[in-house]
Amino acid sequence: MLHLLHLADIHFGMENHGRLDPASGLNRRLLDFTRSVHTAIDYALDHDVHLAIFAGDIYKHRDPDPSWQRAFAGCVRRLAEAEIPVVILVGNHDQPNTFGKAHAVEIFDTLGLPRVTVISKPELHTIATAAGPVQVAGFPYMTRSFMLSREQYKELSIANAHQLMVKQAEEILRSLATQLDPSLPAVLTLHGSVSNAILSSEQSIMMIGHDPIIPLSILTNPAWDYVALGHIHRHQDLHHGAQPPVVYAGSIERIDFGEEKEDKGFVWAQVEKGHTTFTFIPVPARRFVTLRLDARNGEPVQLLEEGLATHDIDDAIVRVIVTIPAEHTAPLDERRMRERLRSAYLVAGIVRDEVRGPARTRDSGLTETLTPLQAMERYLQSRPEYADRQQALLERTQRLLQEMQEELLA
C-alpha cells in the first residue's frame, strides 16, 4: 500500500489581510501558509509517507519573491532529506506569461534534485518509493494564451478555444492511460477545472468564461487508482464512493472571506490497485469571521457585544457588516467597536450596508454556494418584472464576467 500526501494551492505570497511580523520582517500571512504546509509534512512523516504530490499553484503568481521561494524550498527539503519522492505540478499561478520563459518552480527541475520531479507538460513517470514503484501522470494547467498564439487559432472565440482545448485534453489523458503498466499503482495529478466541482466564492468570478472544463468521465478511468486535483480551493471528492477517487485537496489556507466556512487541509491517501481510500486532514488555518449586525434592531455597539457572545474572534481575521437604514446619517462609533474587537488578529473592515425600505430576507445561497452567474439567474427568477429580459441580462452578465477576467489577466 502506498501512503500518499496530496496538497494543492499552496499560494505562498498570498498576503490578503496580512501584517508585518516584527520578529522576522515577513508578512504574517506567509508565516500562516508556511505553518500549515509544515503541519501537513509533520503528519506525513509521522505516518510513514511514501510519496508527496503538490498539485499546482505553489506561489501567488509567476514571479515569486525570494522569501516565498525560500519558504517552499524549506518544505521540499524536509521531504527530500527524509528520502521521500516529491512531485511538483505546474499550476496556472506558476505559469510564465511569455512562451519560453521559465515557470515559477522550474528551478527545482534545473537543479536536478534527487527524488524531486517537476511536471510542466503532460507526461508519465515511474517513481521509486519505499512501497515500490508507482506511476504518476501529470497534466498541468492548460493555458489559452499559448494555444491562441498559434496562427491557425488566433480567430477562435473563447468558447471554441475551450472546446478545442478540452478535446485535446481528453486525447492526451486517454493516451497517458494506455501507457500504464497495469501491474503497478497509477496516480494522475491534474491542475484545472473539472465538471461537477463546486467552486469557492473567491474563485467564481475568476473562473467563469475563463477555464476550460475537463469532463469528470475522462478522469474516472479505472486505469487510475487515485486522481489528485488542484486549482479549486474547496476540498471535495468528485467520484464519491467509487473508484478511483477524484479529489481536490483544496487550498492549504483561507484566501479571503469567500472561504470563511471551508475547512482547509490536505489529503492522506492509501493507494492500492483498484481500492484506494483517503482522509481529509484539517490544518490550523487562520480563521475568518464575519459579524453581521442589523442596526434596525438596536444600537451597533450593543449588537456587537451580543454577537461576540456567540462568535469566537480570538486570533481571527474579522469583518463587521452593519445593516443600517440609509436615512440614518450618524457615523458608526468605530473606535468603540474596534476596542471590542481587540482580540482579533486583524479587523479587515467595519462596513455600512445601507438599505432603503423593508428589509429583504438574505438568501445565503446566493453568496455561499452559487457562482455569480448562477446567483444572477436565481435573482432574476425571483423578479417577475425581468421575465421578458432574463436571457439578455444573463448573456450580458456572462460578457461582463469574461471582460473582468481578461482585465485581471492583462
pLDDT in tens, 151-172: 656 666 767 777 888 898 999 9
Decide if pLDDT at 244 tops 70: yes
d(CA 172, CA 161) in angstroms, rounded, equals 17
d(CA 57, CA 11) in angstroms, rounded, equals 6
d(CA 5, CA 8) in angstroms, rounded, equals 10
Query: Do 339 and 304 contact (CB within 8 A), yes or no?
Result: no
Q: CB neighbours of 135 closer than 8 A, spacing ≥ 6?
A: 124, 125, 126, 127, 180, 181, 184, 185, 186, 187
Q: What is the mean pLDDT of residues 121-132?
A: 96
Give the helix, strand, coil percentages of the chain, each rounded to 5. Answer: 35, 20, 40
Q: For domain 2-282, say whether CATH 3.40.50.12160 is its number.
A: no
User: Of 111, 125, 102, nearest to 77 (Cα)?
Assistant: 111
Residue 404 CA, distance from chain mean position: 19
Decide if pLDDT at 102 tops 80: no
What pLDDT, on a 0 to 100 scale, did the predictor assign at position 205? 40
d(CA 28, CA 295) in angstroms, rounded, equals 34
User: Of 307, 330, 321, nearest to 352 (Cα)?
Assistant: 321
Give pTM, 2 decimals: 0.82
Mean pLDDT taken over the chain: 86
What pLDDT, on a 0 to 100 scale, did the predictor assign at position 410? 44
Q: Which pLDDT band, with edges at 50, 70 and 90, does 192 fall under? A: very high
Q: Which pLDDT band, with edges at 50, 70 and 90, does 381 fall under? A: low
Q: What are the domain boundaries of the chain?
A: 2-282, 287-359, 364-410
d(CA 283, CA 72) in angstroms, rounded, equals 17
**Tell me, what amino acid is at 368?**
E
User: What DSSP string runs through 86-141?
Assistant: EEEE--GGGS-SSTTSPPTTHHHHHTT-TTEEEE-SSEEEEE--TT--EEEEEE-P
Decide if pLDDT at 342 tops 90: yes
Residue 98 CA, distance from chain mean position: 24
> Nine-digit cell at 350?
467595519
Q: What is the mean pLDDT of residues 331-352?
A: 93
Query: Do 233 and 251 contact (CB within 8 A), yes or no?
Result: yes
Number of helices (H) and strands (E) in the chain: give both, helices first. Answer: 11, 17
pLDDT in tens, 20-33: 888 888 888 999 99
Q: Which stretches within 208-342 are classed as H helix?
A: 300-308, 334-340
Consecutive H or E run containing 54: strand 51-54
Q: CB neighbours of 210 closer than 8 A, spacing ≥ 6?
A: 144, 402, 405, 409
Question: What would you report as the CA-atom Rg of the chain, rounded to the nearest whole angstrom?
Answer: 23
